[in-house]
Amino acid sequence: MTSPHPGRGAVSNPAHRFESWSRNAEDDGWYREDEETAAPATLVIGQPAKTALTRNDSPDIPFDRSVNPYQGCEHGCVYCYARPSHAYHGLSPGLDFETKIIARPNIAERLREELAKPGYRPAPVALGANTDPWQPVERKLRITRRVLEVLAETRHPLTLVTKSSLVERDLDLLADMARDNLVHAAVSVCTLDADLARRLEPRAAAPARRLETLARLAEAGIPCAVLAAPMIPMLTDPDLERVLEAARRAGARAAGYVLLRLPHELKTVFRDWLRAHHPLRAEHIMSLVRQMRGGRENDAAFGTRQRGTGVFAQLLDRRFAAASRRHGLRGGLSDLDGGRFRPPAAVGQLPLF
């Protein structure tokens, strides 16, 4: 059985789907069960961005553009649906995803260029759509901070999702934007169980700390939601009602949830994690996942990929609706104001006055 690595989420590093050859680890007789394994180190890989805005036309996503300062995420959340995107860089969606972080140091400059293009029409841009823009490497690199400065300067509407308390560093910019109805924030919390969170998302802020962050965002005047995601049957779903109640007390005005998604190599990464941490429950949990995904381990169809199908999925949806209604989280957040947008001067362009 694959063993956990200290401070990391994934317990394996499977070959990615584009790899033309495979390899198997063999016991050479030197490994001892009681021998401590060093935590894999984090490597930051600089990769200049060619573009800043990523477009999508998915009918079940409430935004059509996003900015991703980083690829890969040191938080190490074993369930992260973005893990398979590391395959496009020739890296494994397992340990590579959380130890080999691709940073785009020039993305703020690229964003400025794209916002200055004639004919650009503003609509809310999502930060955190792929990996967390406030993950640990951001503390030093400050790439997300520079992106926010461009959005604040141009009065461009913004939505963000994070599970990092580092977002509090940028309250000055976010509060300023909130006064003009330019920003919504969502904090992701899938469980209040600190021990479970330590295994599921080892380098993310603890659940209690995330609730503090939500409270500080709300106190700064930023409209906030809680994202109870992912809901994993028999693992995080028992905490759904408690998460919504705690988030409402912290200042959340709205709530959402997403069912566990297991695209591509994530199936292997998550199964390996289950066998290492919950060997007696692993097959039962995967059986419930299949029941919620039409007999498969993943369903990529628009409309059902976020919520699932079947009896268990219907029950989860009813529980969420009842708890949201009970705690006053049903209304959602108001539309952001795109009318204040002012294009930046094109790079290299001299001012007239």
Burial 175-193 (b: 16+ CB within 10 A, else e): eebbeebbbbbbbbbbbbb
In whole angstroms, what is the distance from residue 179 CA to residue 30 CA? 62
For residue range 33-54, what is the model confidence (pLDDT) as tens digits?
544 456 689 999 999 999 999 9
DSSP codes of every residue in 263-305: -TTHHHHHHHHHHHH-TTTHHHHHHHHHHHTTTSS----TTTT
Mean pLDDT throughout 319-328? 97
b/e string for 301-312 if b means 16 or more Cβ within 10 A? eeebbbbbbeeb
310 Cβ contact partners less than 8 Å away, ≥ 6 residues apart: 291, 292, 294
**Rounded (10°) angle between helices 207-219 and 240-250:** 30
Q: Could you tell me if 37 and 5 are in contact, meaning their C-beta atoms sit under 8 angstroms apart?
A: yes
Average pLDDT of the segment spanning 271-289: 97
Torsions phi, psi for 67 (to 5 deg): -125, 130
Residue bearing the bigger pLDDT, 3 or 242: 242
> 224 - beta bridge partners?
185
Per the domain annotation, does 13 fall within a domain? no
Q: In this structure, which amino acid lies at residue 210?
A: R
The predicted model gives 113-140 an average pLDDT of: 96
Predicted local distance difference test score (pLDDT) of residue 5: 81
Q: Is the pLDDT at 15 greater than 70, yes or no?
A: yes
Q: Where are the beta strands (DSSP E) in 128-233?
A: 158-162, 183-188, 224-231
Task: Take residue 87 and report the two structure tokens written for it.
Answer: 């395959």
| Domain coverage including residue 319 | 43-326
pLDDT exceeds cutoff 50 at 352: no
pLDDT at 23 over 60: no
Is residue 29 domain-resident?
no
The answer to whether 137 and 42 have CB atoms below 8 angstroms apart is yes
**pLDDT surpassing 50 at residue 166:** yes
Give dist(CA 237, CA 136) in Å, integer: 27
Which pLDDT does position 331 carry in this prediction?
A: 77
Q: State the total domains in the chain.
A: 1
Between 23-37, 74-88, 284-298, the lowest mean confidence (pLDDT) is in 23-37
47: domain CATH number?
Answer: 3.80.30.30
Question: What is the gyration radius of the CA atoms in the chain, in angstroms?
Answer: 21
pLDDT band at 7 (very low <50, low <70, confident <90, very high): confident
Residue 14 counted as domain residue: no
